[in-house]
Amino acid sequence: MKKEKIVCIIPARFDSERLPGKVLYPINGKSVLERVFNQAKVIKDFAGIYIATDNEKVSLEANKIGVETIWTSKDCRSGSDRVAEAAEKLDASIIVNIQADEPFLPQEAIVDSIKMLKENPEVGVTTAATRIRKDEELFDSNTVKIVIDKNGDTLYSSRSLIPYPTVYYSKEDPLQLKKVVFYKHIGIYVFRKKFLAKYATLPTGILEDIEKLEHLRIIENGYKLKVAIIEQDSPCVDTFEDIKKLQTS
């Protein structure tokens, strides 16, 4: 069997709504973008790693840390749309989209998501999730929750707490929530290139627009999003408070 060529594309825009320029912020001496690249470059399966951007400052940082830039449109609807545009220029059958705000993405998130795609030839895209361990993440809208069926496929994903534990929930005793297992989404997508190209042609879904979650476009249009459950956490960067917490960790 011919070995499938895998490339990694990190979509990195500058104009983030919650924290503009967050990919360039330093964490203990290294930018968020550099740390994301460092997590990616240890994966031996990657035939190449690229930064997809529309911003000169991001491109300069990519050049500084030794990553090739692929220039993309300023009008991309999401990170995956930016990756799809960049992937048009590349010879590969599998495209790994690592989000640029995941400076400590565990290797298992990448490896297990790739493995799951390879083991399920009928699936066009996979992602990763891990168990929520911190009470403060349960009601944090920046922590994206995900609900999965018995086959490992996404049922729904939301910034709200799902599933909502009506049996156990008590405002006086939030620790009761630990009786329910909650999962949070990890910022990685592993696409078959053909499905990635199709994804970019799909209309923005109503739920995607409401939640501002790009992967909802997949399930809204009737496709499967299979999820690899990993053990390690992956703290992402959404706010300046996240930067400060990670500086001291």
Instruction: Give the residue ranges of the chain where pLDDT is below 50.
Output: none
Look at the block and give the residue holding tokens 């990635």. Answer: 196
Say what the pLDDT of residue 237 is: 86
- CA–CA gap between residue 233 and residue 106 (Å, rounded): 7
- Asked if the structure places residue 165 within a domain, the reply is no
- Asked if the structure places residue 28 within a domain, the reply is yes
Say what the pLDDT of residue 164 is: 87
Beta bridge partners of 7: 48, 95
Say what the pLDDT of residue 175 is: 60
Say what the pLDDT of residue 231 is: 96
- Asked if the structure places residue 119 within a domain, the reply is yes
- Asked if the structure places residue 173 within a domain, the reply is no
Instruction: Print the domain residue range for 65.
Output: 6-125+187-248
DSSP designation for 215: T
- Asked if the structure places residue 93 within a domain, the reply is yes
CATH code of the domain covering residue 239: 3.90.550.10
Q: Give which of 37, 82, 43, 85 is closest to 61, Cα–Cα.
A: 37
Q: Each residue of 213-235: pLDDT tens digit?
A: 999 999 999 999 999 999 999 98
Tokens encoding 66: 């030794």
- CA–CA gap between residue 48 and residue 51 (Å, rounded): 10
Per the structure, the count of domains in the chain is 1
- CA–CA gap between residue 5 and residue 196 (Å, rounded): 15
Dihedral Cα 181, 187, 190, 194, nearest 10 deg: 120
- Asked if the structure places residue 218 within a domain, the reply is yes
Write down the pTM of the prediction: 0.93
Say what the pLDDT of residue 235 is: 86
